[in-house]
Structures are given as structure tokens and as C-alpha cells.
Structure 1
Amino acid sequence: MSYLDELFSVTGKTALVTGAATGIGRMAATALIKAGASVMIASRKGEDCIKVASELNGLGASGQAEGFAGDVSSEAAIAALVGEVKARTGKLDILINNAGVSWGAPLESFPYSAWAKVFGVNVTAVFHLTRELLPLLDAAASDEDPARVINLGSVMGTQPLADDAYSYTASKAAVHHLTRTLALEFAGRRITVNAFAPGPFQSRMTAFATGTDEQARHVGGHVPIGRIGTPDDIAGATLYLCSRAGSYVTGAILPIDGGQSVQHGLTLFKE
């Protein structure tokens, strides 16, 4: 095994990625499978997950995928998902809490119900699913190779930016803080907890703004590095945090945003 393989391999690891039928979740799942992991892909649309798993298994990669329905929008649904996972494995090396929802409306008409719905999936479910899967994470954790949790935050949780998605941006800031809190609590259990804070990527959630190549170029023009994110950007971050390379990293909010998290319109002395 080469040095690079040894450092970044996830061969033999078992992972669960929620909301992995599309977007960033699918990108992360694909990376793990290509690098040798067995990945459970779950989202509300079970048929989509089965289809995606079949497509990923057709890549001829060293890992494998299994798709099934898994909802995180209620306590009962999370219990059902945990049951599905426990029926398939006795240990979980990697949990990626990727499932998320958004809601956009002008300030004047932003609905009360959009807060409970968005926080329920984006924050409450991250805490509750992670806690319910702790026995499986504990079973995989060791001093040499901690179990890994990655939560999906956002550049919108770092920057004071709403774009009419008031509950979404607040929920992602909450995800970042919860990530740091759990990182400290879980360190003694040898479980690392980190978050991605992505900028714009092509996904179902951002299809309204990045759905066409022309739209993607337009949005990319607002990013300091001049483009939107690609699957390889998520793949590199995923393999870093889930392999030996990232075993000493916990409590990090990793910006994958082409410089948006440090972007501002301020000048002090220059006009």
C-alpha cells in the first residue's frame, strides 16, 4: 500500500450518509465508495437511493453502496432509520449528517411554520440521529482510528447572509455551534465531530440558482476564486476528515467555499 493510500484510505469502513440521493451528500458518498468504504445511502425518497446505489456500484470502485428510505423529519422516522442501520451493521465508522431543507420568503411574509420545519431537519435531527447512533459509533471508535461525524453546515451559517432564507441561515449557524459542542463531548469517546461549510454547489436545493451551466457561471462570478464547487472539492474534504489523515481534527468548521467566508465589501484606507 502506498503512502497516499495509507493516509487517505477508508477501505473497510462503514458509513451512513443521509440525504445522499442528490447534491453534496451524493458527492460525499461517491468519494467514500471510490476509496473503499461500504456506504448506506438514505433519504426520504427510497427509490432514488436504491437507484443511486446501483449507479455507484456500477462504477467498479473498491467500495459498495446500499440505498434505502430514511427520513429524519420526525422522532419516529429517525427511530425507523436507526433500526434500518442497526439491521445492517454492528458498527458505524462514519456518519455524515447531510439531509437538509431550506425555505425562502420575503421578510414580511416569512411563515412561522418555516422555523420549526427547517430547524427540525437541519438541527434537531442532527443531534437526535447522532445520539441514537452513538452505540454504533462507539463500537467503531478506537484511539488509533476514531469514529467520524461530519455535519453539513453552510457559508450562510458563517456569514450574516439571509437571501430570504432566514430559518436556513440561522439553522446552519446552530449546526456549526452544535458541531463544536459535540466535538468536545465526544472526544473522550474517540469520536471526531466536524462540519462542512460549503459555498455554492450544484444540488437540488440550489437548482433554482445553479441549475444550468450559465447560471452556475453567474453564481461562480460572485465567488472570490471564480467558480462554484465541484464533486472533487467535496471528495477531497470527505476523504481527509474520514481517513487517517484527519484523525486528529475535531471541532472544525471547514469552509469549502472558494473564499466566500472571508469575503467582505469593506475597505479601510483604500478607495
Structure 2
Amino acid sequence: MASFDLQNLFTVRGKVVLVTGGSRGIGKMIATGLVKNGAKTYISSRSEKDCERTAKELNALGSGQCIPIPADLQKFEEVERLVDELKKKERFLHILVNNAGATWGESIEDYPDHAFSKVLTLNVQRVFTLTQKCLPLLRAAAQQSKDGDTFVDPARIINIGSIEGLSVPSHETYAYSASKAALHHLSRNLAGRLGWEGITSNVIACGPFESKMMAHTLATTGEVIKAGIPLHRIGMPEDVAGTVLYLSSRAGAYVNGATIRLEGGMTSRMEGSWGAKL
């Protein structure tokens, strides 16, 4: 068997990354792990203030670098502006983390049409739009073998999905769960189409983590949720950051079209509701 580099198996040092929704929550957890491990990480979110504050905080950690490019990804022209700014700064994009998302909870009778459109646009359509616009940078980053026959270090698309896209939740978030199921399938489509060009596409289907989106649910039913998770806790920053580092490094270079459940075994003990045991 040929020898291989175990020491650098999980390194992302020197790679260029874009993390959407990277100023807080899961996106910030991901960006923190990438910066601390030497990646040049661009973060984007609607709030310029949040982006600047997070970039300043992460740059103080050393090793890598965090650069803010605020953008409202609900708007097509903002996606174009974000990518144009990125192209002015970089010739390659090794890793695209599609994390930005929205949710909306409302009864089936009162669920507003504009809310459904908002959630589907950001969680699915803009993932496709941003990926489409970033393709030249991703293609340029794909590293081929010396003979040009294989991609030894492909570019990566990492889509942040949800276990709500895998099973039916008890709470009424119709557009969110539908959008995440659509995102998971879109990711598999991208894997089958772009893998031939040296670009992989995978999903991390997250369970409950500390975030603004989950704040109300955790505040009201947090203990019930934990009781239904075999590991008796919700996700921690190291969990999602570590999974992204794996998929982004040489260790994850052969993973394509996968959906990784990052939920402590929660979906193995539930059937349509938080913590409902089989």
C-alpha cells in the first residue's frame, strides 16, 4: 500500500472559504473552526455590524483570517454583488458553506404566503443561485492528480440542512421542513453533476444547536429535547465545526452526495416529534 500523509489528513490551512450566515449561530461555529485551523474565511450575513464584530473576534484567534462581506441573500442582485467582491479578492474558492437560512412557525390555517416564499427562496433557491455564481471559483480550486486523471483534492460545497428535512417535526414549520428536504435533494443533484468537475456536494443535517433560530424552542422544550437524544445533550460548536473540517480536508475528499446526520442519534429515537421514543 502506498504511504500517505496522516499528519495533514484533516488540514484546511491556506484554503479559501465562504460561509453564508457566518456571523452568528451555526455559521459562526463553522467559521470559528475554519479560522482557528488556518483557513482564509469570508463570512456573509445581512447585518454589516454583526459581520464586522464576528470578523474582529475571529481574527483575534490567529492562525487563519476572517473577512466580512455583508449581503442580503434574499436578493438576487446581492448574491451577484457578493460573488463579484469575492472574485476581486480571490482566484479560487476551495469551500462554499451554504448555511444562511430562515424559518417561520405558524398554524396551517394562518401560515402566510409571503413567509413560505421567503423561506423557500433563501433556504433553497439562493443556495442554487450562489453555488451557480461561485462555479468558476470552485472549478479553479479543484486540484487534480499529476496525470490529470483524478481529483485528489476537489472543491467542496457543504450545505447545512436539518433533521426536519428528514422526518416530520411536531411543530408547525411547514416551509422550513419542506425547504430543508428540497435542499438535501438539491445537494445530491449537485454532487452527481459537479463531481465530474472536481466539486463535491454534501449535506450536514443538523439537530438542535444553540442558535437564534432554535432559541425559543430550546427555552420552552429544551429539557424534553435533550431527554429524547441518546447522548443527552444538544449539539456543541465542536460538533459542527469538526464535521465541516472533515468534509473540507483530505480526509473527506472522497465523500460526495452524502447527508450526514449531526444529531446525537436523535432521529433514531423519534417518529415525527421531538424526543418521542419508538
| Same structural fold, with TM-score higher than 0.5 when normalized by the shorter chain | yes
Shift in Å, 1:217: 4.1
5+ unaligned residues in a row in structure 1: which ranges?
Answer: none
2:79 is matched with 78
When structure 1 is superposed on structure 2, of 104-113 and 202-211 the one drifting more is 202-211
Alignment partner of 1:222 is 2:228: yes
Shift in Å, 1:260: 1.9
The residue type equivalent to 1:200 in the other structure is P
Matches within 5 A, 1:131-150: 131-142=132-143, 143-150=151-158
Q: 2:25 aligns with which of 23, 26, 33?
A: 23
The separation in 2 between residues aligned to 1:68 and 1:45, in whole angstroms, is: 10
Matches within 5 A, 1:1-271: 5-60=7-62, 62-142=63-143, 143-161=151-169, 163-210=171-218, 216-264=222-270
Shift in Å, 1:3: 5.5
The residue type equivalent to 2:135 in the other structure is L
Residue pair 1:71, 1:81 contacting (<8 A) in 2 also: no
CA-atom RMSD in angstroms? 1.8
The separation in 2 between residues aligned to 1:71 and 1:99, in whole angstroms, is: 10
Residue pair 2:167, 2:271 contacting (<8 A) in 1 also: no
The residue type equivalent to 1:67 in the other structure is P
Shift in Å, 1:220: 1.6
CA offsets 1:84-123 (integer angstroms, 9 cap, x no match)? 2112211100000000000000111111112111000000
Shift in Å, 1:74: 1.7
What is the percent sequence identity of the aligned residues?
45
Are the structure 2 counterparts of residues 5 and 50 from structure 1 closer, same or farther at C-alpha, using a change threshold of 3 Å? farther
Shift in Å, 1:215: 6.0
The separation in 2 between residues aligned to 1:163 and 1:188, in whole angstroms, is: 40
The separation in 2 between residues aligned to 1:66 and 1:221, in whole angstroms, is: 39
After superposing on structure 2, the runs of 4+ consecutive aligned residues of structure 1 that deviate more than 3 Å are 2-5, 214-218
1:81 match: secondary structure: helix
CA offsets 1:198-248 (integer angstroms, 9 cap, x no match)? 00000011111235xx96444322323211000010111011000000000
The separation in 2 between residues aligned to 1:254 and 1:5, in whole angstroms, is: 24
